[in-house]
Structure 1
């Protein structure tokens, strides 16, 4: 009898464990299938949190919240429309021009003194690889493969436009219902802890919102100064590089360095002198951003250790690319704030 009970108990444990593993696999597959939608939701939520401090500043000036949301939403939509109208056509033209000049760019890079020295040290490997790539592009038999890539790019562009529209709509909904969402989350906690829970929720929303707005402002300063610099030195693809730099620099620490590498590489096309000027510019700007711009802009946002920023950005980037890296940092900031406000006080009481 006792042996049968042990067998039954072991079977129940095995069955429960198997069901748990199966459930985890199903949940993982569901998350994988809906990764794009979850990314849109995450971006929209953080945009709403980033715009919420503006709404709060208007409500402090006795503006009713619905009217404040309407004003911010109108400004947000106007800014998006202005960006699409003013920047996208030029960026598309520059991107097309860049694609057309890829063979010339590859040839000019290979013939620079530095690359030529590396090529001679490697026994002509760089020249061979470049010529092979250009021959592949020039061979008409390979055009169907290239055309398939172009079609994929076109589909990606359409998906990107649809994604922007979805994110904008979700952002508007989140902004309008942000306070209601906080109230609903507070009701999920026990009545004795509801006030504390709502306070922590407000702190997270405020700090993350300040972080999103602050980091966007830092990226905007970076992009604006870079566009002025590239225009002054008459660098190629100034607007395209500016848009790329703005997007990448939304990731602290890693983003500005990555954009610096890209800009310096592109300016190397025009010659080592222009690339040297770009290096000097970034050496000066990165110091200004690290010690002057970012501390002033981010002083009201939640403080995140540099190591945590890098780890969060790498993990988010591995899971969901650049957007994942951007979203991962506010998520890490939220977790850090919860640890400071909930877990650490409890440990102090023990």
Structure 2
């Protein structure tokens, strides 16, 4: 190729590279906002089947939207009401428990064992010094509690933004999809719209199925933890609910966290932790073989190996949101391959 004007070619190339870097920098800068938008779209796709179901029950669309949005607001308010006051109250109680925890550690048989095994190590003095350090640094602990409170406030603010965007996307999802379909050439618009509807329906069914499975875990956890007198059953049940939203390993991670919380001296006991561990071992089998197959029967169908790969990749790229979106995204890719790529390949 003959280059008639090297300066022009260099200038255009430099502008192209600069534009690419600007786009990448903009995406990195706006990653939090893009995450909020992605989460809101994901949730709104999950709420859309509920709106459609209510419309089939002779609800006007505006009434169906109001019912779904009010239910979403009630769920959000309920979670805030259950979790936030308990966390704020327990921070001060935890500080007050420090002397008692120190005394309990002094009486543990493990202290005697360590003292016998390591005669030159004054274990009791170390525990006493640790307690004195915590007592002398109550101010720092309080500032740490304030930082935790700010972190909780930031999380609630982000959840509120996602909630507002979800309400908007749910109310205007139909018009948004119709507007996107208009961007496709008329000759391919019908096929594109059909494929897009299948993808959005599969994502919606997946979200409902995952939330249903998580709700089963959260409700049953609250009932069982209340029966065995575990510490903070509403908080632990909320942890069980949110971790169950994570595919594959979420229920296991949440179960381990809850069991360890039940083991903390002064809050729980080894017996309570043992009951919790046995319960979650049984529950995970029931969820894997009974609850999940029935709840997710009409949701996306993705091969097991692809589920693992998609969940790991999505979690690495976008954290919790990536892990949630990964499986329906993999299902959408499989659908496109089956209905677009393979038919075109067979025509060649």
TM-score range, shorter chain: 0.7 to 0.9
CA–CA distance in structure 1, aligned partners of residues 90 and 171 of structure 2: 38
Taking structure 1 as the reference length, the TM-score comes to 0.82
Between stretches 250-259 and 21-30, larger displacement belongs to 21-30
Contact 1:109/1:268, CA 8 A, preserved across alignment: no
Structure 1, 38-47 or 77-86: larger mean CA deviation: 77-86
Cα drift, residue 149 of structure 1: 3.7
For the pair 1:235 / 2:230, whether they are aligned, the reply is yes
Aligned partners of 1:122 and 1:21: how far apart in 2? 64
1:58 to 54, 57, 69: 54
Q: Which residue of 2 aligns with 1:177?
A: 172
CA contact (8 A) 2:247 2:323 kept: no
1:83-132 CA distances to partner (integer Å, 9 max, x unpaired)?
Answer: 3335532354346545665787799799978999899999999x79x959
> 1:310: how far off?
3.2
Q: 1:71 to 1:102 in 2, by over 3 A?
A: same
Shift of 1:162: 1.8
Partner of 1:32: 28
Which stretch shows the higher mean deviation, 334-343 or 92-101? 92-101
Q: Taking structure 1 as reference, are residues 166 and 279 closer, same or farther at Cα in structure 2, changes over 3 Å only?
A: same
Distance in 2 (CA, whole Å) between partners of 1:13 and 1:281 is 69
Q: Using the TM superposition, give the Cα deviation of residue 53 of structure 1 relative to its aligned residue in structure 2, in angstroms.
A: 0.6
Q: TM-score, normalization: structure 2? A: 0.82
Q: Is the 8 A contact 1:219 1:250 kept in 2?
A: yes
Partner of 1:315: 313
What's the CA shift for 1:135?
6.1
1:217 aligns to 2:212 (yes or no): yes
Q: Whole-Å Cα distance in 2 between the matches of residues 309 and 321 of structure 1? A: 16
Match of 1:83 in 2: 79
Structure 1 residues not aligned, in runs of 5+: none
Instruction: Report the equivalent of 1:192.
Output: 187
1:343 aligned to which of 333, 341, 344? 341
TM superposition shift of 1:11? 7.0
Whether the 8 Å contact between 2:310 and 2:330 is mirrored in structure 1 is yes
Q: Deviations over 1:167-217 (max 9, x none)?
A: 121111101111111111111111111011111111111110111111011
Separation of aligned partners in 2, 1:133 and 1:185:
65
Please tell me whether the aligned partners of residues 95 and 240 of structure 1 are also in contact (alpha carbons under 8 angstroms): no
2:323 corresponds to: 325
Partners of 2:25 and 2:58 lie apart in 1 by 48
**How many residues align structurally?**
343
Q: Which residue of 2 aligns with 1:284?
A: 282
Q: How far, CA to CA, are the matches of 2:115 and 2:317 in structure 1? A: 36
Deviations 1:130-167 (A, max 9, x none): 959946952746955x5554443232222222222211
Structure 2: stretches of 5+ with no match in the other structure: none
Matched with 2:242 is: 247
The root-mean-square deviation of aligned C-alpha atoms, in Å, is 3.7
